[in-house]
Amino acid sequence: MIVLALTFIDDILNYNSLSIVGLQKNTGKTECLKYVLARLPLEKKRVAVTSIGIDGETTDQVTRTQKPEIVLREGMYFGTSEAHYRQRRLVSELIDVSDESTSLGRVVTARALTQGKILLSGPSSTLGLQRWMRDMRRHEIDLAIVDGALSRLSLASPAVSQSMILATGAAYSINMTQLVQRTAFMVELINLEVTSESNIALLTPLESGMWWIDTCGLLHEMPMATSLSQQVEFQGMDSCSTLYVAGALVDTFLEKVRKNKSLKHVELVVRDFTKIFVTPQQLRLFVKMGGTIRVLQKSKLIAVTVNPTSPSGYVLDSDALCDRLSQAINLPVYDLLKN
């Protein structure tokens, strides 16, 4: 496991950005962030970190359970709100104060001059987060880390970060079989293949609506606005090879596509996995009938971490959980506290 853990950190260094996403509160996301921050080779990489929510609190404000505190090492850059910057327990050099306001004030970027504890509460929108990441590149940051959450999964999309780590555990489900199945399905969505380069060139600029590409490579707009529309018309789409949904992909729309004979072998494209809100059953039926789902952008899923303990105190067998989940997703799975 020690050798695997070293590889896990080495893999992170191959990318310039990383999101750490929890599938539920108390799945060990903050422990994962702490683990990564403590082991990155700062002599080789300039590292910056921020959080979508609030990270570093000693007590979870919802579950009232104890939370691990965030410790930054000397030389690390960080982005947090004005309110939490004032509460820092380290010496730092102020780098920038953004124009974007959050509920806790503007986002402050600074560099730690000593080791110490910090509350992280960074940009709260995708655009704000993208702007912060661009600013970090201006400061020659090699690796920008975003601490995320499933409820704000769009902020951990491939539009924001090149790579990601997924945290899951007993807080997500205390039934091990269900936990493995639900986590494996999320991993399946994250790992969906990217569509062709020609499709990417045509579809990336389209940020709304639904579109289709015919067998000659020509682009057409569909009359309805979104996949959530009650009435979906597929007339004149016999030559459709690719169907693009710019917004959310949901079960009802996927079922309508599956039942349309002219779309039997269609490639259905979404922007990235965060736009998919379908059940495993509907996805399996769609693929079984000959359909394919692909994405315009994807992040590299580096690893999955587990917290076998639920907030209520129920504990799953860590070794069994890691083994079963690793077999299901064909990726390393770590219980970082145990190891």
Look at residue 2 and tell me whether its pLDDT is greater than 50.
Answer: no
- At 235 the pLDDT is 84
- Average pLDDT of the residues of the chain: 88
- At 57 the pLDDT is 47
Mean pLDDT of all residues in 293-312: 94
User: What b/e string do you get for 225-250 counting C-beta neighbours within 10 Å, with b at 16 or more?
Assistant: ebbeeeebebeebeebbbbbbbbbbb
Residue by residue, what is the 3-state secondary structure of 179-208? HHHHHHHHHHHHCCCECCHHHHHHHCCCCC
- At 330 the pLDDT is 92
DSSP assignment of 107-171 equals: EEEEEESS-EEE-B----SHHHHHHHHHHHHHTT-SEEEEE--GGGGGGGSTTT-SEEEEEEETT
Listed as own residue / partner, the contacts of 259-262 with beta carbons closer than 8 Å and 24 or more positions apart are 260/234, 262/234, 262/237, 262/238
Contact 93, 85 (CB under 8 A): no
Rounded Cα distance between 37 and 102, Å, is 25
Q: Is 59 helix (H, G, I), strand (E, B) or coil?
A: strand
Query: Which DSSP category does 309 fall into?
Result: B
- At 56 the pLDDT is 44
- At 59 the pLDDT is 47
Rounded Cα distance between 105 and 147, Å, is 19
- At 71 the pLDDT is 94
Contact 32, 20 (CB under 8 A): yes
Surface-to-core class of residue 209, CB atoms within 10 Å of its CB (0-12 exposed, 13-18 middle, 19+ buried): middle
- At 102 the pLDDT is 80
Residue among 211, 225, 278 nearest 250 (CA): 278
Contact 314, 172 (CB under 8 A): no
Share of the chain above pLDDT 70, in %: 88
- At 62 the pLDDT is 47
Say what the pTM is: 0.88
- At 166 the pLDDT is 94
Rounded Cα distance between 104 and 99, Å, is 13
Look at residue 226 and tell me whether its pLDDT is greater than 80.
Answer: no
- At 151 the pLDDT is 52
Rounded Cα distance between 71 and 56, Å, is 8
Q: Quick one: CA dihedral 234, 239, 242, 244, positive or negative?
A: negative
